[in-house]
Amino acid sequence: MSPYLNIYNLADSKGDLSRLKAILVLEDGSVWPGEGFGAFAKVSGEVVFNTGMVGYPESITDPSYHGQILCQTYPLIGNYGVSSKSFESDKPKIWGYIASELCDTPSHATSEKTVSDWLKENGIPGIAGIDTRALTKKLRVHGVMLGILETYFTKADLKSLRREARLIPDPNKRHLVAEVTTKKIKTYNKELKKTVALIDCGVKRNILNCLIKRNVRIVRVPAETEFAKIMDWAPSGIIISNGPGDPKQCVATIATVKRLMQENIPAFGICLGNQILALAAGGNTYKLKFGHRSQNQPCREEGTPRCYITSQNHGFAVDVRSLPKPWRPWFTNANDETNEGVRHVSKPFMSVQFHPEAAPGPTDTEFLFDHFLGNIK
């Protein structure tokens, strides 16, 4: 029998709240039963998968997952627990979590709590005990899908859940960046003079760390900060960060970046920042079938024999055919030939679709921060 059709042999949750009934229902009506963990809740969102073998605390706290229910393809999650030292933001940003097997007894010197306890504290439901391989194969064939994840499920709810799943609002229609960006301007390395303005679209903590250790003053501004306000800081360079959702929702940010480029201020985009920079330059973006979410994506540097292994988390990409003539592709994904970075042929504007700060993943491309900073005065 298909692993996502049999919903009637779930374990009874009475007396053992660590083993709640739970269910995942996709927009096509397919049903995936399992054991619940984390919070007692029902959420809907875009169901995506990450193929990384490690780094689940970093992924769970990555603001780029805001609006999404994350499925981990690696079969065991939680075995080294949760450490706040690994967080990429202040708290979990996913809306729901899917694992094949969840470890309740983590063993690691830095572990502070279990994944289930952590998600429960933050109101996020999870489901375990389902065939994540079959789910991932389904998403690869069909493309990412909307879904509902509910813990403490009873089989009487199924009919209404299936109806509800067909009507789930697409979170990518929301301005998700506005929901995760910083609410106020923050500065780091205040005593230094050389200033980089960081447009926070949902920045990962390790991007900040990579800049802080390179001895520049960082002015972190909300995503919709106006051009004039940014210029008050007299920045020598601009970084547009990663973030969630459809880049075309970032209308104000795109306009600001376009205006900053008119001043010839060196700019560096990361992930969503790559897409925003391309849109500001006059290019176009599109949604990928199932995106790139992993720690082992090979990227070729155009015009060279080099190929780097990169960490990635994105569901949209730049259409290189739409780029104006002064712009060129910089990196290309060796698996599917999609764009992984763009740059201007003569001006100091550049961006990458992958994550040079890693966390989790390889640090092969962290040198790109130095490359960018070498362009600023």
* CATH (domain of 304): 3.40.50.880
Cis ω on the peptide bond leading into residue 360 (within 30° of 0)?
A: yes
Q: Decide which of 153, 173, 193 is a domain's last residue.
A: 173
Structure tokens at 58: 């970093």
Residue 371 CB contacts under 8 Å (≥ 6 apart), including other chains: 350
The burial class, CB within 10 Å (0-12 / 13-18 / 19+), for 375 is middle
Longest pairwise C-alpha distance within the chain: 67
CA atoms within 13 A on the CB side of 255: 9
pLDDT of residue 16: 44
Indicate if 355 belongs to the active site: yes
pLDDT of residue 377: 79
Is 248 found in the same domain as 307?
Answer: yes
Is 366 found in the same domain as 225?
Answer: yes
> Residues 309, 318: contact at Cβ < 8 Å?
no
- Which candidate, 105, 160, 100, places its Cα nearest to that of 130? 100
CATH code of residue 94: 3.50.30.20
The burial class, CB within 10 Å (0-12 / 13-18 / 19+), for 130 is buried
Strand order in the sheet with 267-270: 186-188, 217-222, 195-200, 237-240, 267-270, 349-352, 339-344, 327-333, 284-301, 307-319
pLDDT of residue 11: 36
Domain assignment present for residue 10? The answer is no
Q: Decide which of 106, 140, 173 is a domain's last residue.
A: 173
Domain count, the chain: 2
Is 205 found in the same domain as 101?
Answer: no
pLDDT of residue 12: 37
Is 76 found in the same domain as 202?
Answer: no
pLDDT of residue 164: 94
Structure tokens at 250: 């970032």
pLDDT of residue 157: 75
Active-site residue identified among 88, 271, 314, 344: 271
Active-site residue identified among 66, 314, 344, 355: 355
The burial class, CB within 10 Å (0-12 / 13-18 / 19+), for 366 is middle
Is 181 found in the same domain as 302?
Answer: yes
> What domain range includes position 51?
20-173
pLDDT of residue 19: 54
Instruction: Fill in the amino acid letter for 125.
Output: P
Instruction: Fill in the amino acid letter for 315.
Output: G
Indicate if 357 belongs to the active site: yes
Structure tokens at 242: 């990663």
Is 196 found in the same domain as 162?
Answer: no
Alpha helices in the chain (DSSP H): 56-60, 115-121, 132-142, 158-165, 177-180, 205-212, 227-231, 251-262, 272-280, 367-373
Is 157 found in the same domain as 194?
Answer: no
> Residues 25, 69: contact at Cβ < 8 Å?
no
> What sign does the CA torsion over 164, 166, 169, 172 have?
positive
pLDDT digits (tens, 9 = 90+) for 127-156: 999 999 999 999 999 999 999 999 976 776
Q: How many CB atoms lie within 10 A of CB 255?
A: 15
Q: Which residues of the chain have pLDDT under 50?
A: 1-18
Is 147 found in the same domain as 240?
Answer: no
pLDDT digits (tens, 9 = 90+) for 10-34: 333 333 444 578 999 999 999 999 9
Q: Decide which of 146, 173, 200 is a domain's last residue.
A: 173
User: Which residue has tokens 């049903």?
Assistant: 31
Question: Looking at the DSSP assignment, which residues form a beta bridge with residue 32?
Answer: 24
Active-site residue identified among 27, 58, 340, 357: 357
Record the pTM. Answer: 0.93
Q: How many CB atoms lie within 10 A of CB 339?
A: 26
Domain assignment present for residue 142? The answer is yes
Q: How many CB atoms lie within 10 A of CB 304?
A: 7
